[in-house]
Amino acid sequence: MKKIISVFLFIIGTFILGILYSHYIEPKTLMVKEYKVTNSLITDSFHGFKIVHITDLHYGTMVNEKLGKKLVRKINQIQPDIIVLTGDLFDSHVPLNQNEQLIVTELLKSMKANIGKYAIKGEHDISHKEWESIMTECNFINLNDTYELIYKEDYTPILLAGLSTNIGVKKNVQEKLKDAIQYLTQYKETKGETLYSILLMHEPDTIDSIEQNPFHLILAGHSHGGQINIPVLQYYLSPKGAKKYEKEYYKIKNKDIYISTGIGTTTFTYRFLNKPSINFYRITNK
């Protein structure tokens, strides 16, 4: 009987410690996940190009000014060429007062990139009307349903496209990407060459809605890795839009797809065996 009680108390104690750890400790840590992305289409001028990918801060839930400053330090230590934010800077359940908006603005302003900073909206950002003005003030280029050409040292660019959240939106995905796809098609017809292209999106399952997909590198967020990294449970905790593609990497038809587990939390303020993270990519041609 004593053994049974001891085992029972051990299980209960471990469970309680796990809950405390996943709420008070793990969500406040921050790690960098580094990846090498290789494609022969990448020109020599972009060989070693550094991309920092951040997503799903959900500022005001578990991410606060202190963790935000740690995030800025880690990003600036990398000295990225570009920084990309793939949605849910804010949380729809957490309204921010003016002082909190100023803190977010200063944090984003402090992030340094050699070439540029780019962002798209997640579904939680839609209710925050200040999103556009903050992006502008912090020198983040609003890449929602449009594209930019990034140049480095020579005349052959990389195309960077952005696809805004597709949750609760009537506009067709193919229509949103029409201009970017048209440019890539015309470039190939005119130059006789394929331009290396990157797509930013929020919900990774949206990949299957892109009928004509010319992109080589796709960066997404939204999944949070389920927040709780336990098989089966992780799947059920993953949000709609990240049910099919819930892992961190896929190779589909020669396309590299990376899904960041993100930085913040939503719905429930816990992370377990799933530390908040920044994704850092070095793109190379060999």
d(CA 203, CA 168): 12
CATH number reported for the structural domain that contains residue 186 in this entry: 3.60.21.10
Side chain identity at residue 63, one-letter code:
V
Domain count, the chain: 1
Q: pLDDT grade, residue 61 (50/70/90)?
A: very high
Residue-range definition of the domain harbouring residue 59: 2-284
| Span 80-105, pLDDT tens digits | 999 999 999 999 999 999 999 999 99
Beta bridge partners of 283: 37, 49
Average confidence (pLDDT) over 254-282 = 95
Region 141-170: mean pLDDT is 94
pLDDT tier, 15 (very low <50, low <70, confident <90, very high otherwise): confident
- Higher pLDDT: 229 or 105? It is 105
What is the pLDDT, as a whole number, of residue 176? 95
Confidence band, pLDDT 50/70/90 cuts, at residue 122? very high
184 and 214 in contact (C-beta within 8 Å)? yes
Average pLDDT rounded to a whole number, residues 158-187? 94
Confidence label for 171 from pLDDT (cuts 50, 70 and 90):
confident
pTM: predicted TM-score of the whole model, two decimal places: 0.95
